[in-house]
Structure 1
Amino acid sequence: MKVIKNYLYNAGYQILLMLAPVLTTPYVSRVLGANNNGINTYTNGWVTFFYLAGQLGISLYGNREIAYQRKNKYERSKTFWSIISLQMFTSSIALIAYLLAVFLFSSAFKVYFLLQALWIVAYGIDVSWYFMGMEDFKKTVSRNTIVKLITIALIFILVRNQNDLAKYIFLLGFAQLAGSFTLWPYLRKSIQWVKINEWHPLKRFYPALLLFIPTITTQIYLVVNRIMLGRMAPQAAVSQFNFGDNIVKLVLAVVTATGTVMLPHIANKFASGDVKGVRESLYKSFDFVTAVSVPMMFGLMAIAYKFAPWFLGNEYGPTGGVIFWEAPAILMIAWSNVTGTQYLMPIHREHQYTISVTVGAVINVIANLFLISLYGANGAAVATVISEFSVTAVQLFYVKGTIRRRALFAPIWRYLLCGLFMYLVVSRINEIMSMTIVNLILQVALGIIIYGGGLFLLKAPIIKQAKNLLKKE
């Protein structure tokens, strides 16, 4: 039950990270306009590379290493101080490099670039990886919930017109910084002070660097779409793509939350030599993410074209196409989250994970070059799906020797069949109905009933998992 509770906490945490901008999106998209939102997306895309370089893959590395030392407070404390000192040092270097780049090379949007620097500071002091490694997700969720709610309120109060873009960028960065600060008081009871000469942060550099490579590579094909759109299309197209991508990623957060939860869980089993337990957890996790991601994918596709202009405003009509074409990435990322984050990473096969995401990054850049010029924001969405498919394919190739792929995919036809039938019904009803909050709720509820009923009729494995869980309760 601890894993399930942690999943629920982390799903809430991941949704919270995305929910703040999504809750404010209908307001901000209209008040700031497509052009200003495009500027925010473009400048934030650049700062992302710097704060990731500063964090150096420590989010995944720290999560895993703390999981290994969970039962030994002294060793856990020594691990914490060595990792956080390395993170602060590399983040300081990244901040200096970013500021130099802004002053030397940025002529347009300089003020906005400088305000984005708050994200580097925020990630430099972030210790959420420690609590994830301890499988203690409640603290991160509760503290960040308060910070995010305050930020949302301030956005509605302070961001009033198109001249308030700077305030909006500052509030988003400050929220991330405040969220990082509020976790530190909880460390007092969980760790102890260790003499500085026992930290040895440089010993952590190389293994963290190994995880940084796939992290930064993954971000290349997450951020490069926005940067290439900013260079090859109007700023309005950047914001149209960004809002569509955010909506897809919000839905995806419910699925990928399993990765952050299962990584320390599987790492702990691996460290204990429980190979059978690792495989069983993997099969169940793969079935779960498939069962959840399929209806999310088809559901978004069914309502995309009417939902986007209703939710964001008429200026964002093209965002409907972005959501429709990018929705299949939900399933691809869900699968790669299991094979990569939940399996390859905890058992020290980082090099194979790195190869998979590198392939995805290269394919994404190539696909963007052709598709953005032809189809604009929709082309960037299709490029995302192609790259995520390639990552999943490479990872499935690497796990073939240790994981039975036939066992992974045997029940998938049930989920796809139920999801497709749900899509056909909901999309037809969506065409007939006007888009209102009541009609949206009705369509979502109908989709859940159709999909859930189909799973019962076809006796999908997830139903058996749910029944076993209820019996344990």
Structure 2
Amino acid sequence: MKVIKNYLYNAGYQILLMLAPVITTPYVSRVLGAHNNGINTYTNGWVTFFYLVGQLGITLYGNREIAYQRENKYKRSKSFFEIVSLQLMTSTIALVAYLIAVFLFSSAFKVYFLLQALWIVAYGIDISWYFMGLEDFKKTVTRNTIVKIISILLIFVLVRNENDLSKYIFLLGFAQLAGSATLWPYLKNSIEWVSIKEWRPFHHFYPTLLLFVPTITTQIYLVVNRIMLGRMAPQAAVSQFDFGDKIVKLVLAVVTATGTVMLPHIANKFTSGDIKGVRKSLYKSFDFVTAVSIPMMFGLMAIANKFAPWFLGSQYGPTGSVIFYEAPAILMIAWSNVTGIQYLMPIHREHEYTISVTIGAVVNVVANLFFISLYGADGAAIATVISEFSVTAVQLFYIKGTIRRRQLFGPIWRYLLSGIFMYLVISRINSVISMKITNLLLEVTLGIAIYIIGLFITKAPIINQAKALLKK
């Protein structure tokens, strides 16, 4: 039940993350315009690389290490001080390098680049990995929820026209910084002081560096398409792709919330030698994310073309096709989240995970060069799907000797059949009715009902999981 409770905390926060753009995105997209939103996306894409360098692979590594030493307060505290001191050192180096790069190489958008530096500071002091390792998601979710609500209110109060781009960038960065800072007081009763003489921060450098490689390569194919679009297409195309990508990824966040919860849970099982429990958790998690991601994928595809200009504004008509073409990435990322984050990472098979995401990054760059030149923002969406498919395929190849893939994929036809039927019905309805809030709610409700009926008819395994959960 602890895993379920943690998932509900995390999924609840991911739903808040989904609702926040529902509130702010239509406002920001219209007030700032496509050009200014493109500038924010472009400058934030560059700062992302620097704060990732500052963090190395500490978010994943720290989460896992704390999970391993959860029951020993002294060892847990020692690891915390060592890892956080390493994080502060590397983040300081990243911040200095970023500022030097901005002053030396940035002629346009310099003010916006400088405001984006808040993200490096925010991630430099972020210790959410510690509480995730303890499987204490209540603290991180509560903290993030309060900060998110305040930042939403400030956006409406302070961002009033297209000249307020700098305020918008500052608010986003400051909200992240405030969220990171508010976790520190919770450490008081959770750790004990360990003498600085006993700290060995560089003992953790090599393993965090190993996890940094997949982290940075993952970000390459999350960010490089925006940077390449910024170089190969108008700034408006960057924001049109960015908003489409964000809508897809926000829907996906409800599914990938399982990865954040399951990593420390499986790491703890692995440490205690419960290999059978690890595999059982994997099969259940894979079935769950498949059951949830397929209707989300087909649902977005069914409403995309009318939803985008209605939700974002007339400037974002092309975003509808971006959402349509990128929606299959929801299923690919859901699967790789289970095989990679929930399985390969906790059982110390990081090198295989690294190889898979590195291949995905290379595929993404090559696909972007080809498809962006031909199809612009739509090309970047297609390249995203291709790269995510390559990551999933490589990971499935690596786990073939330890996991029964037939057991993983056996029930999928049931979910696909239900999802395709739902898509055909909702797509037809969407083509004949106008897009407004009441009609959208009707389509969503009807789509959920059709999908669930399909699951009962095909006797999908998720139905039995749901019944067991309700009995508990």
TM-score tier by shorter-chain length is over 0.9
Aligned match of 2:275: 275
Q: Distance in 1 between matches of 2:23 and 2:53?
A: 29
Q: CA deviation at 1:22?
A: 4.5
Q: Distance in 1 between matches of 2:245 and 2:278?
A: 32
Aligned match of 1:264: 264
Aligned match of 1:360: 360
Q: Deviations over 1:395-441 (max 9, x none)?
A: 00000000000100000000000000000000100011100100000
Give the residue type in structure 2 aligned to 1:48: T
Equivalent position SS for 2:139: helix
Aligned match of 2:466: 466
Aligned match of 2:152: 152
Equivalent position SS for 1:189: coil
Q: Distance in 1 between matches of 2:323 and 2:5?
A: 30
Q: Distance in 1 between matches of 2:420 and 2:131?
A: 39
Give the residue type in structure 2 aligned to 1:114: L
Q: Distance in 2 between matches of 1:357 and 1:16?
A: 28
Q: Deviations over 1:253-285 (max 9, x none)?
A: 000000010000000000000000000000000
Q: CA deviation at 1:18?
A: 5.5
Q: Distance in 1 between matches of 2:112 and 2:408?
A: 46
Q: Distance in 2 between matches of 1:16 and 1:268?
A: 29
Q: CA deviation at 1:468?
A: 1.2
Superposed counterparts of 1:187-206, under 5 Å = 187-206=187-206
Q: Distance in 2 between matches of 1:311 and 1:375?
A: 23
Q: CA deviation at 1:17?
A: 4.5
Aligned match of 1:441: 441
Q: Distance in 1 between matches of 2:27 and 2:290?
A: 33
Aligned match of 1:182: 182
Aligned match of 2:87: 87
Q: Distance in 2 between matches of 1:97 and 1:20?
A: 33
Aligned match of 2:7: 7
Q: Distance in 1 between matches of 2:105 and 2:76?
A: 42
Q: Distance in 2 between matches of 1:314 and 1:173?
A: 28
Q: Distance in 2 between matches of 1:19 and 1:365?
A: 32
Distance 1:19 1:51, change over 3 A: farther
The answer (yes or no) to whether the contact 1:305–1:317 under 8 Å persists in 2 is yes
Aligned match of 2:338: 338
Superposed counterparts of 1:152-171, under 5 Å = 152-171=152-171
Q: Distance in 2 between matches of 1:117 and 1:127?
A: 18
Q: CA deviation at 1:189?
A: 1.0
The answer (yes or no) to whether the contact 2:122–2:180 under 8 Å persists in 1 is yes
Equivalent position SS for 1:193: coil
- Please, which runs of 5 or more residues in structure 1 have no aligned partner? none
The answer (yes or no) to whether the contact 1:214–1:358 under 8 Å persists in 2 is yes
Q: Distance in 1 between matches of 2:151 and 2:254?
A: 22
- Alignment pair present for 1:101 and 2:72: no
Q: Which moved more, 1:15-24 or 1:84-93?
A: 15-24
Flag as ranges the 4+ runs of structure 1 deviating above 2 A.
12-23
The answer (yes or no) to whether the contact 1:301–1:327 under 8 Å persists in 2 is yes
Q: Distance in 2 between matches of 1:408 and 1:205?
A: 35
Q: CA deviation at 1:13?
A: 2.9
Q: Distance in 1 between matches of 2:310 and 2:301?
A: 15
The answer (yes or no) to whether the contact 2:99–2:114 under 8 Å persists in 1 is yes
Give the residue type in structure 1 aligned to 2:177: L
Q: Distance in 2 between matches of 1:15 and 1:204?
A: 34
Equivalent position SS for 1:135: coil
Q: Deviations over 1:80-99 (max 9, x none)?
A: 11011000100000000000
Aligned match of 2:69: 69
Superposed counterparts of 1:173-322, under 5 Å = 173-322=173-322
Q: Deviations over 1:353-411 (max 9, x none)?
A: 00000000000000000100100000000000000000000000000000000100000
The answer (yes or no) to whether the contact 1:322–1:377 under 8 Å persists in 2 is yes
Give the residue type in structure 2 aligned to 1:372: I
Q: Deviations over 1:93-122 (max 9, x none)?
A: 000000000000000000000000000000
Aligned match of 2:351: 351
The answer (yes or no) to whether the contact 1:372–1:379 under 8 Å persists in 2 is yes
Q: CA deviation at 1:235?
A: 0.2
Aligned match of 2:138: 138
- Please, which runs of 5 or more residues in structure 2 have no aligned partner? none
Give the residue type in structure 1 aligned to 2:377: A
Q: TM-score, normalised by structure 2?
A: 0.99
- Alignment pair present for 1:451 and 2:451: yes
Q: Distance in 2 between matches of 1:471 and 1:177?
A: 41
Q: CA deviation at 1:19?
A: 4.5
Q: Distance in 2 between matches of 1:337 and 1:438?
A: 34
Q: Distance in 2 between matches of 1:16 and 1:205?
A: 35
Aligned match of 2:59: 59
Q: Distance in 2 between matches of 1:413 and 1:245?
A: 27
The answer (yes or no) to whether the contact 1:22–1:247 under 8 Å persists in 2 is no
Q: Which moved more, 1:380-389 or 1:188-197?
A: 188-197
Equivalent position SS for 1:381: helix
The answer (yes or no) to whether the contact 2:18–2:251 under 8 Å persists in 1 is no
Q: Distance in 2 between matches of 1:160 and 1:344?
A: 46
- Alignment pair present for 1:125 and 2:114: no
Q: Distance in 2 between matches of 1:124 and 1:400?
A: 38
Q: Distance in 2 between matches of 1:104 and 1:119?
A: 20
Q: CA deviation at 1:128?
A: 0.6
Give the residue type in structure 2 aligned to 1:147: V
- Alignment pair present for 1:30 and 2:30: yes
Q: Deviations over 1:206-250 (max 9, x none)?
A: 000110000000000000010000000000000000000000000
Q: CA deviation at 1:471?
A: 1.8
Give the residue type in structure 1 aligned to 2:166: A
**RMSD between superposed Cα atoms in Å:** 0.8
Q: Distance in 2 between matches of 1:259 and 1:446?
A: 29
Q: Distance in 2 between matches of 1:416 and 1:20?
A: 30
Give the residue type in structure 2 aligned to 1:164: D
Q: CA deviation at 1:148?
A: 0.9
Q: CA deviation at 1:12?
A: 2.5
Give the residue type in structure 2 aligned to 1:278: V
The answer (yes or no) to whether the contact 1:22–1:246 under 8 Å persists in 2 is no
Q: Distance in 1 between matches of 2:401 and 2:455?
A: 30
Total equivalences in the alignment: 472
